[in-house]
Chain A
Amino acid sequence: MVFNSFIFWIFFAAIILPYYTVFRGKANWQNGWLLLASWFFYGYANWKMIPLLLIATGVFYWLGIQIERHSESEPKRASLLSTLGVIIGIGILFYFKYLGFLVEEFAALLEKMGCIDSKPALRIVMPVGISFFTFKLIGYTIDIHLGKIKAERDALAFGTFVSFFPTILSGPIDRPGEFLPQLKEGRSIDYDNLAEGLRRFVWGLFLKVCIADRITSYPNAVFGNVSYHNTTSIILAAVLYAVEMYADFAGYSEMAIGVSRMLGLKIRENFRRPVFAQNVSEYWRRWHMSLTTWITDYVFMPLNIAFRDWGKWGLYLATSINIILIGLWHGANWTFLFFGIYHSILLILVAATEKGRKAFEKKHRLKGRWFYVTPRRILTFILVSVGLVIFRAKGLSDLGAIISQCGKGFGPVFTNGLLEIGTLGLLSAVILFLKEWKDENQWNIHFLHSEHAWIRILSMAVMIAFIIFAGQWHGGAFIYFQF
C-alpha cells in the first residue's frame, strides 16, 4: 500500500476519523488504534511476516525493562543484555538480508574449485522494512543501556513505536527518546498539524508522481540495455537517476512526515537539500539523515572513541567502516560494498584536506562566495551521481558493462525515453529546484506557507491540480522499499 495510491488514502481516512472522534484525546486508545492500523498496514504488505514483527516487539520490550532493572544493581548483566539486544537485531538482519547471498557466493566458489557439482539455492524471503525497524530496536536497547532513556513499560506505546505505519516500510528511522514521549498525551485535532501535514504530504506526492515516476523511464531504458548506449546517454541517465533517486526517496519521506504530522506526531527529517552540499561529507549530512545520524551515533562515535589515540588514522578507519556499513545496509551485493568503498575514499580525501581548505578559505575570504561555492556544488553532484551508478548496477557484471560501454566514447544522445519525460517532467524539476534554492537561501517568499490564507489556499489548489494533471499515476513502488 503506497502513499501515492487511492487505497492508502481510503485506509488513512478510515484511521484518522475515529482517531480524532471517538478516540480523541485518549492516549491509550489512540495508541492502540495506531498499533492495530500499523499491524494491518504491515500485514497488507506481507502477512507472513507479522509473527516476526510481533516476536521482535515482545523480545525487545522485555529486554528494555531487564536492562534498566539491572543497570544499577548488576551493571555487567545489564551490559550483557544490551549486547544481546544488539546481537539479536543484527542477527535478524543478517539472516534475512545477507545469509542467502553469502551461502550462494560460497557455494559458487566451491563449485569453481570443483568441490561440489551444482550450487544449492537458498531462498530466504526478506521482510519489508526489516532494515528500518531492526535499527530502531537496536538503538532502543543502546539508549537504555547508556541511560539516555527509560525503558518503555507501556506495551501499546512501545508497539506503536516499533510498527508505526508511516515509517515501518522505509523510515525515517525514529529515535525512541523523541517518539515515545509524544505518545504519552492524547491528541486532538490541531489546525496547524493538519495543515502542515497536508502540505508536506502534497509536496512529497509532487516529488514522487511528477518527478520520480516520470523521469524513471530514461535511466531504466539506458541502464536496462546498457550495451546499446554510448557515454553521452549514460551520463544523462546518471544525472537523471540522481534526480529520480532524490525525488523518490525525499518524496516518500515527505509523505511519511506529512501523514505522521496529521496524526499529531513529529518524526525525524530525512533530507536537507543535498544538491547544495559543497563536498561529499556535507552531502552525507544532508542525505538520508535519519540513517546517517543513526550510524554516526551508534557506530561511528563508539568506533571513533575506541580509535581516538590513533590520531587521524583512527578517524579514517572509523569513517571507512562507517560508510561501508551504510553501503552494505542497502543489501547483500558487491556493488553496495564498492559504493561504500568509493564514498570512503572521497570522505577520507575531504577529511585529510579539511584543515588546509579551511585556512585557504579564511585567507582568501571565499566562504559563501558564489564563484567558489558553485563549482564545488557541481563537483559534489557529479561525484555523487557516479556513486549512484555503482549503487544502481545490478551486480559486478552489470557495472563492468557500464564502464566498458563508457570507454567506447561519446555519440548522439538516445532520445526515446526523453520524450516521455517531456516538458512536464522538466517543468516539475525546475519547480523543485526553485523551491530548494529559495529554502536554502531563506528567501522570504512563501506560497504554501504564506501569511495570507488566500495565497495558501490558492497555492495548494494549483499544486493539487498540477499533480493531477502532470502526475504519472502508474509508477511503481518506492525505490527504498527493497531495502
Chain B
Amino acid sequence: MERNEIFSRLEEVFRDVLDNDEIVLTDTTTADDIEEWDSLTHIQLIVAIEKTFQVKFTSKEILSWKNVGELADCIQSK
C-alpha cells in the first residue's frame, strides 16, 4: 500500500475514534499534538487501525512507536 493512502486512511480512523474532524496527521505527529489522544483512546485507535488495515501488531511494535510516521512504517511492513 502507498504511504499516502496509509496516511489518509489513518486520518479517517483518528477522526472517527477521537471524534475530531480537524485532525491532520504527519510523520512527526505524536499524542502531545492531539488533545483527545491519551492512554485510553490510544488503545481504541490501535484496535480500529488493526481492523481497518487487517493487520495485527505485536506489543513490542505498539510500545516502540515514537510518532505516526513509525506507525505508518509498521503498517507498510506488514
Q: How many interface residues does B have (CB within 8 Å)?
A: 12
Tell me the minimal C-beta distance from B48 to chain A in angstroms: 10
> Which stretch from A6-14, A193-201, A295-303, A454-462 is at the chain B interface?
A295-303
Of A305-313, A423-431, A466-474, which stretch is located at the interface?
Answer: A305-313
Q: Which residues of B in the span 27-49 have a Cβ within 8 Å of any Cβ on A?
A: 39-40, 42-43, 46-47
Cα distance A381–B60 in the bound complex, in angstroms: 38
**Contact across chains for B39 and A305 when beta carbons are under 8 A apart:** no
The main secondary structure of chain B at its interface with chain A is helix
A110 at the interface (CB under 8 A from B): no
Are B43 and A146 interface neighbours, CB within 8 A? Answer: no
Q: How many A-B residue pairs have CB under 8 A?
A: 29
The residues of A that contact B60 with a CB separation of less than 8 Å are: 145-146
Per-residue interface assignment for chain B, residues 53 to 74, with 1 indicating a CB less than 8 Å from any chain A CB and 0 otherwise: 0000001101110100000000
**Given A302-B59, A305-B59, does the pair A148, B64 have CB atoms closer than 8 Å?**
yes
* Whole-angstrom distance between the Cβ of A310 and the nearest chain B Cβ: 10
**B40 proximity list for chain A (CB < 8 A):** 315, 351
CB pair A302 B47 closer than 8 Å:
no
Asked if A320 is an interface residue, CB under 8 A from chain B, the answer is no
Tell me the B1-45 residues at the A interface (CB within 8 Å): 39-40, 42-43
CA A148 to CA B65, docked complex, whole Å: 9
> Does A400 make an interface contact (CB < 8 A)?
no
Q: Determine whether the beta carbon of A308 is less than 8 Å from that of B39.
A: no
Q: Is B39 a contact of A300 with CB atoms below 8 Å?
A: yes
Q: Does B59 contact A306, Cβ atoms closer than 8 Å?
A: yes
Pairs A–B under 8 Å by Cβ, sample size 27:
A145-B60, A146-B60, A146-B63, A146-B64, A147-B64, A148-B64, A148-B66, A296-B39, A300-B39, A301-B42, A301-B63, A302-B59, A302-B63, A304-B39, A304-B43, A305-B43, A305-B59, A305-B62, A305-B63, A306-B59, A308-B43, A308-B46, A308-B47, A309-B47, A315-B40, A315-B43, A351-B40
Given contacts A301-B63, A304-B43, 10 further A-B contacts (CB under 8 A): A145-B60, A146-B63, A148-B66, A296-B39, A301-B42, A308-B43, A308-B46, A308-B47, A315-B40, A351-B40
